[in-house]
Structure 1
Amino acid sequence: MIDWAWVGDHLDDLAWRILQHFTLAAIAVGLGFAVSLALSIWVLRRPRLRAAVVTASGVLYTIPSLALFAALVPVTGLSLVTAEVPLVLYTLLIFMRNILAGLDAVPPDVLEAADAMGYSSGTRLALVELPLALPLVIGGIRLASVSTIGLVTVSGILGDRFGGLGFFIFEGYRHTFMTEILFGALPSIALAIAVDVALVAVQRRLTPWAAQQVPEGMRPAAAS
């Protein structure tokens, strides 16, 4: 049974936790995308280095999230750094796979045409390759955003300051109070769905050509 009186007394706290949860996820996704984009551009034409970097990001993705949060606490304390480092690391594989797959899918004849027009490698990347890779890149942003919103709940182990909606879930389990568990879990699910819907709208607006037909090579790459 849900304790509706308790829910009514904690609505203000819920609003604050939703904002905190969203902020933690947004910071992680933003930093993760910036790092992944830089790494992807760096390794794009370096096959051996590319394999090593992608493999390393895959290894990081396999580390249990709760264990990684707990391992950082003795080093960085109950801080924003402790909350964000695991979240950022878990986005790297998703972003890199999608960015690299998107860049790989750019047709060779398009690249040749850009070279024939005298584009430098940097100009070609900025004006030709990245725009054509955008559908898959945004797909990676969607995957990373939804995944990160889910992972932020694990930061509830850090307590009140950086727990987001996960704080309610951990407190609910600690007190065996189902209302508090649902108070954290359901808004977290709703937030992930809302963000995904918003990003779908952005994707359709920025890449209208991809909404009609997405080639096989340009579909979002799975993180597994």
Structure 2
Amino acid sequence: MISSAGIPDVVPAGRMAGRPQPVLGLPGGFALRPWRPEDAGALVAAGQDPAIRRWNLFTVADRAEARARIARMHERWRAETGAVWAVERPEGPAAGLIGLNDVDLAGGAAELVYWLLPAARGGGIAVAATRRLARWALTDLGLHRLRLCHSTANPASCRVAGKAGFAFEGTQRGALLHADGWHDQHLHARVAGDPEPA
């Protein structure tokens, strides 16, 4: 499609909805795969984890709400407005979430978000998953720009962003309301053509 300004869409409509959401392999036997109804327990556990609740403003009351969220994840893929994967342990249950919010195919942009349950933290999985999803989004899907934002009070996410090749672009003042008030937010980004991180 061509915009009113005569600029073609960066990614044509239908590129997501016209194919199944892929499974993306990670080192160590981990994988990114679509969420399933039987993953509801992982979402409930995430909703009770203090760090996930604090940094992701995420709550889930029970399994019924979790299953409804999982159904919405699949709806967002079909609507081409979001793409959310479960971070799966080798031959095990979901250990986290990673995805693209605010997908704008025409404009070629999205925001990358993630969280991990406690048992999956500290082993480099967040970095590996972020790198893998960024590669898929910029190369396979064809987006031009991905942003990754986090509270300035969350240095762990700042390290993940840097190791995953997301350049620091600045601080957004008072950008996100958390339970303890407004937080400044770091903005990181990768664009198509950026070198893969070492």
- Name whichever structure is richer in strand by fraction: 2
TM-score, normalised on structure 1?
0.26
Task: Specify which structure has the bigger relative contact order, considering alpha-carbon pairs within 8 angstroms and separated by 6 or more residues.
Answer: 1
Return the TM-score normalized by structure 2: 0.28
Structure with more helix by fraction: 1
